[in-house]
Each structure stands twice: as structure tokens, then as C-alpha cells.
Structure 1
């Protein structure tokens, strides 16, 4: 890669990525199927919390909420992205999740909705949700398309009275659920790629095009409001950005937009936080953990999206800087934080990291098990019943991660879909020495 190929943007370089290796510090244990999935009628994959504006996990009358991309479980897993629907699930203990229904009950943007983030504002009417999502596909197109825009839905509210208010929620929400998210929603496109900092679809030369995964973030140091997202850096052909022109097609980046007024409905594009030009095409689901003034930036990526002559993995990758728009360096020297075992290389994906006191927790979804072929393309070569059997389609075990400066390590795992809060966010009766966890911080 030539010097400073993307201007002043911090880079994940080929030199960094050349050091990627599985070792005892970054390999998760083998995952086995749970006795029960969260919902036997659904495939569940990319998942995120309902959060407060400051990034903490929202608790509403004792409930916490997650959102997931879903499809019917009788669908071949490889087809699920084409019909993805966002549903919500709620829990009072972080272990047992109840399906609440679809988030949106009608008009949306895009042919289907992909991952994003959700922010809860308790000061709004009845507690308002700002729901950021990827509008995938062109509205009204007859054929399936892959246009991607960053969208926002507002107007949704939370009810915990055991029933639905008039005018309300999706038709598949049980009326005695105790928790519901209700519309109507107003949808708008927030951002599209500018064709300068961020590549438009018609400019793409790579295997995959990305402008998706909006993640709301309020900077605790400055109080400023931002959106992070996945994108591709524009690399015009013939500019010599990489030593090998083929590598130029691998141009993933982590984008950022700023709200000048703090209004969570208005954002302006800013230059990328990080790029992986010549290294990787797809830096998925970017998100941040801030600890003691240090910024930890996490993404997920695939083995097949690394540029030629680099050996990467389906894995969680991370970077660290002293401020939001600082000089990000890869954690552990190469960037890999957590990956799957060599004999189960696709068992989990789409990790989301959150702070839990002295450690980090990483959630993900249970992907393909009993499967060790070199890539996921070979899944389609299996008989359909084997494709269905080997797809987990539910939340994976939550991984506990140690964090020490610029180094991370895998500690162990919790159960499938066990997503505890920090001890200090819980009522004392849930975690004192006489109660459920014996004082170890989990319940």
C-alpha cells in the first residue's frame, strides 16, 4: 500500500493484518446447539440492544430489549437476508427472551431492513424510540436490489401495561405480553453516500458494496452526537493506492456522521474514522465502547473479504484510540479480538461488544455448526435438510473478554443469549450475596 493512501484517515494496514493468527487469547470455545432456541419459528441473526442516549442499556419497568434480523425458520438460511424483518425480544433477567413481534407494521423504506441501532428517550411522549436501520433495496423495485441507505424511524413508543394502546402495535404481538413496542412510525432517509469520502454503489468495483449498519453514539467526552456506519472508501482506478491494483477493490471503511445541533434526526457526513484500503472489503456493524477516556472501536468481518495474500478469519476485530477521531491502532497488534475455532470456523458471527465492569461481553448469533469447509459458499452444496440442520439460527453463547490497555483475551462463555447488565445497573436484591449469583456479578 502506498503511503497515506486515504489521506489522514487512520488505517488498518496489510502489515497489521499479516500478523493475524489464532491463539489461546482469541479463540472461542466450540458451540453446541441449545436445548431450545429463543423462537423455534424464526431464524435470528444480527442483534442489538435498545440503549439510552448515553449508550447504556435501557431498562424499562424491569425489561431490557433486543432487536434482531429475523426470517421464518422454514426458509433456507442462505435466503434469509433477502426477506429480513426486524423483530424485538424482551426479558427481565437477560437469559429468557420472549418474542414481542415485528418492530414495523407496514410502511418502511427499502425492500427489506438490515441492521442498525435503537435509542430510547424516556423524556419523549410515553418514552420514544429512535430506530436507525439500513434501508436495503430500492423502494418499489420489482427485482431484488442491493442499494443501501441509512434510515431512521421515529414515533414508536414502549408500553409495559400488559396490553396494547389503541392504534398500536404489530398484529403478531400478543395482547397479554406485558411489554410492547407500538407505532405508528415515521420513516426518513438520513444519509446516502457522497461519492467522495464514501463510495456510491455505481462507483463500486468490489465483491460487496456497503453503506449500512447505522450506530447511534453520544460522545461522553464532548457530548456531541454521531452515527457510525459501515462503508467503502472511494479508491479511483489507477491512483496507485495499493501495491497491487487488485487489492484496490478491498476498500472497507468505518464511516461517521455528526449532528451539529445534537438533534438525533439530522446528521452530516464526516471523513471516515478508519479505513482498510488494500486489506478488507467489509467492516461490519461498527460500534464503540469507551472506558476511562479510551475509545475501543469494534467491527465484524469475514475470511472471504480480506484482500489476496492475507489470511483473515470470520472474527471480531477491534481498534483503540485516545479520542473518538484519534489515531486508531489495532488491538493486539493485528486487530483480531475473537474468532471461531479452526474446526468450526463459521460457528458464530456478527459480534456486539458492551462494557461489563472489569470485562467486556460479546454477543453474537449461532451461525453454522458441524461445518468446517473453507468457506460458506459450500453450504449451498449440501442437501437442503443439512443446510437447515447445521444453521444455528439463534443467539450464541455470550463471550467474556478481558481488556488490558491494547490487549484482549477470551475468558470464557455464558449461556446462549445470556446478556447480563452491569451489577450497578441492577436492583441490589438481584445480586447481593444471598441472591441468585452468589456475588459473582451474573444472575
Structure 2
């Protein structure tokens, strides 16, 4: 655990809080932050699909929804016969449902027509029987060639029918909610970096104030000649941020851009899929990021990173000193990605997807040099085992895992961890054996 306290975060470039190079320089694998090796599931629940970024249908208060006894999740998907590296070019959102949180079923593609050339990640809200789906519209509608323009979209009109099984129905209406303003959030034409981001909308209602927010991934504009990062232009190109918009009315389709929640100028280019877990009066902000998106002179991992503050728009402190919360083991550095945390039974559970599990190269770029058959074999393309975290103050620790696709139902107690079982066995031994 870490002995830092929330409330002493460093200022950001455009945001109130920032992730600094000094903090990120402390990133290293530890027993508390390294996931166990994941192995292939005995049965692939969705063999016809590549499945990656996944999010759950949630209530306004952030709890995972159960609709007439069904857990519901949404994922980016592509046909499983497609080369994995091509999946982002055809990504479509599908819905999955489960009556026990372990066995899941394919509910089909959500949209017949959506904005953009393909859809990237988002979030989903269940609001008094209505389903809202927030997603990233990637690419220019109607363009013949793939483009990488990104807009944040909300789809309304969804309902769930459980009279005869499970059915998510429209008709859906798609609303363009947010686009970058060029001042607080970089436009594509302003970007000088390897990757441009304005995506991954995530709905959040503040339990303390009742205010309604939408978080998203973005980049903070750094003007040429700025003294940010000591004027080092090579560092300034790494300008990831966690953006935020507020709904003045609470309407899930009515948003106004505000200053970023946190930025990482000089540190990291991509703060992907930002989301918050509110626990013990604190706000835990989590993002996913890659090895290759850290700035010059910094070394990170494909990992879940996190920060904590006493208020939603407070002074965020990196968890565990550096921000590292959960990464892959050194002998399987790309086994999982796209982590999403949520509270359950006193812990924080983290679902993620099974990525390139049988690969220990230095970068994912090396995958493209493998034969296509090997690229397919080494790609998981399904949900990975769910990680279990303890979270306290500014410290976290991985204490175990659940199975692939295992998302406990509401009120379901978690099984003892291996550590707890060992402690019980030792205690029984000290008392003279079992049964005494």
C-alpha cells in the first residue's frame, strides 16, 4: 500500500490536476500491481467473434444494472475470422446478457445504422427503463477511405424486453453530443502526435452533489513554442488528458464542455477509457494506457493506471505513487488490455479483455511480422479473468482473480482469496487440524 494522501496532487497543464514526469518515472512492476498469468478459457463463449473493449449497463448511481435478473454488457466486436490487427477498422457494438454473471449470450448487433464508419468504446445508462448508449463515432460518414475523425455520440430510444428471453430493442436515435473546441481539447487538425484522441464517453453521476458528468479521453492543446516541459517539443507531443462535460439539466443528451479533469502533458499520449469508482468518500479515476504512448525518457507498461482525489474536480494523486494499478506479467506483457473497474462486495473488480497472451515481444508492432496463423493463434479476443483489488486511500493491491467472463451478480459474495484460504489453513493447523 501507499502512504500518500489525496489532496496534494500536482497541477496540470490545462487541467487542475496533472500526471507528472516525476511521478511516472516511478512506474515499476510489483507484487501488488502485477496480474497473474492468464490462460485460455476451457470454452470460448463467443467463438464467432473477436471481443475487446467492454462496458456494462449501469444505473445512474453507477451500480451495474440487473434488468429482470439479467446482467447486460456491450463490447466492440468483429468477426473472429478477421486478422486481429484489422478489427478496429470494422468495430461494431454488440450486446451480451447473462442470468448468472458467468454464462453469457450474444444478443446481436445493437445498431443497424450508427454515426461514423465504425464505432469505438463508450458506456451505457439504464434510466428508469430507458437505455442510453454513449459511443465514439470513428471516421467520416460516407467516406470511401477510412478516416480517424472522432465524435462523441449518444443513442437514445433503447428498451429491454424480457417477456420471452432477452431482447434489446430500438428504434435508436443518434445524437452528436460533443466535439473538441480547439482550446481545452485538441482538434484533429491541431494534433502533431502519433495518435489523436477524442473518444470513450463514460457517464457519471456524482453521489455527493447529484451533478451529471460525461468523462472522455482527449488531448490538451500545447501551442508551438510553449514552455511546457521546459520547451521540449518532443515531450509536448505527448499530451493526453481526461476530458469532462457537465449536463446542466441532468439530461443524458445535454452536455457542456468544461476544463479537463486531469492531463499528462509530457508524460503520456493516451489516457484511454477514463472512468471513476466512488468509494469511502473518495474519487478513484482509472485509465488504460500503453507501453508505446509514454513520452521520451519514460518507461511504462500496457496497464491500468489510477488517481485519487477528495472531490470529483479535486487534486488527483497517482495511486501507488506512480499511478500504476494493474499490469501484465513480464513474461506475458500484452496478455490483457482495456481494464474497467467497478466496486463489489467491499473490493474493486476489474474486467479486461484477453489480448495477445502467448507473446513476450518488446512491442505489439512485432505481432505484424508473425505469420497470419500465429497472429490468430496468439490473440485471445474474449473477456479475460476478472481481477480483484483492494483499494484504500492512495494504495491498491491485486489480491486474486475470478474466471473469464465472470462478473458476480448483485449481492453475491466473493469467494475467499488464496491468501485467505492459506491463512485459514495455517490457523486450523495451529489449533491442531481441521474439525477441532
Q: TM-score, with normalisation over the residues of structure 2?
A: 0.92
> In the alignment, is residue 346 of structure 1 matched against residue 334 of structure 2?
yes
Q: Per-residue displacement from partner, 1:82-132 (whole Å, max 9, x unpaired)? A: 000100110011111011101112x2100000000000112xxxx211110
1-side partners of 2:242 and 2:93: how far apart?
23
| Cα displacement (A) at 1:5 | 6.2
Local SS of the residue matching 1:49:
strand
Residue 134 of structure 1 is matched in structure 2 by 136
| Cα displacement (A) at 1:439 | 13
- Is the 1:5–1:242 Cα contact (8 Å) retained in structure 2? no
Local SS of the residue matching 1:371:
coil
Local SS of the residue matching 2:376:
helix
Q: 2:52 aligns with which of 30, 38, 45?
A: 45
- Is the 2:125–2:203 Cα contact (8 Å) retained in structure 1? yes
Per the alignment, do residues 303 and 438 of structure 1 end up closer, same or farther by CA in structure 2, a change over 3 Å counting? closer
Residue 115 of structure 1 is matched in structure 2 by 121
Q: Which structure ranks higher in relative contact order (CA pairs < 8 Å, sequence separation ≥ 6)?
A: 2
Q: RMSD value over aligned CA atoms?
A: 1.7
Residue 153 of structure 2 is matched in structure 1 by 151
Residue 174 of structure 1 is matched in structure 2 by none
Per the alignment, do residues 437 and 315 of structure 1 end up closer, same or farther by CA in structure 2, a change over 3 Å counting? closer
Residue 189 of structure 2 is matched in structure 1 by 202
1-side partners of 2:415 and 2:345: how far apart?
16
Residue 166 of structure 1 is matched in structure 2 by none
Flag structure 2 segments of 5+ consecutive residues without an equivalent: 1-9, 419-436
Local SS of the residue matching 1:333:
coil
- Is the 2:15–2:259 Cα contact (8 Å) retained in structure 1? no
Q: 2:208 aligns with which of 221, 235, 257?
A: 221
Residue 265 of structure 1 is matched in structure 2 by 253
Local SS of the residue matching 2:366:
helix
Residue 279 of structure 1 is matched in structure 2 by 267
Local SS of the residue matching 1:332:
coil
Q: TM-score, with normalisation over the residues of structure 1?
A: 0.90
Per the alignment, do residues 415 and 132 of structure 1 end up closer, same or farther by CA in structure 2, a change over 3 Å counting? same
1-side partners of 2:121 and 2:280: how far apart?
28
Q: Which runs of 4+ in 1 moved over 6 A?
A: 436-440
Q: 1:73 aligns with which of 74, 77, 80?
A: 80
| Cα displacement (A) at 1:156 | 1.2
2-side partners of 1:9 and 1:403: how far apart?
24
Q: 1:395-410, aligned counterparts within 5 Å?
A: 395-410=383-398
1-side partners of 2:55 and 2:243: how far apart?
19
> In the alignment, is residue 84 of structure 1 matched against residue 91 of structure 2?
yes
| Cα displacement (A) at 1:38 | 2.0
Per the alignment, do residues 439 and 146 of structure 1 end up closer, same or farther by CA in structure 2, a change over 3 Å counting? closer
